[in-house]
Amino acid sequence: MVFGETVILSTNGFSDIINITDSAEQIVGESGVKDGIVTISVIGSTASVSTIEYEPALVADMKDRLEAFAPENMRTRHGDTWGDDNGFSHIRATFMGPSTTLPIVDGTILRGTWQQIVVIDHDNRPRTRHVRIQVVGE
């Protein structure tokens, strides 16, 4: 069986980290799947999906590391070509990846005690993001 829904988020950009664990768990519950997998995928080339212990200090640390890795003010050929100055966001998103897949066991997403599912919008402006949550199993 395959079941999916799209979640729509309003983001602030600049590596805004949004916890979507509750939405993913709700969609898995609605699917009726007891054993399988769930894939969470953000649509677009300047955002990513990952897991993190979603607490303020670690969220701030993550943003700091992303800034050190690919600074907002870095010159990119992409920015020179298109004039949108968001090359850094494409680089961050590419290295992190647009999706994650997690197991479903007994109708629940299998994750660690402090492991939450997050969408990170790296773009240089607020955006409306579409996140596809796709459940496969039985």
pLDDT of 137 reads 98
Residue ranges in the chain modelled with pLDDT below 50: none
pLDDT of 13 reads 96
User: Looking at the domain that runs over 2-137, which CATH code has it been given?
Assistant: 2.60.120.460
Full DSSP string of the chain: -EEEEEEEEEE-SSSEEEE-HHHHHHHHHHHT-SSEEEEEEE-SSSEEEEEE---HHHHHHHHHHHHHHS-TT---HHHHHHS---HHHHHHHHHH-SEEEEEEETTEE---TT-EEEEEE-SSS-EEEEEEEEEEE-
pLDDT of 21 reads 98
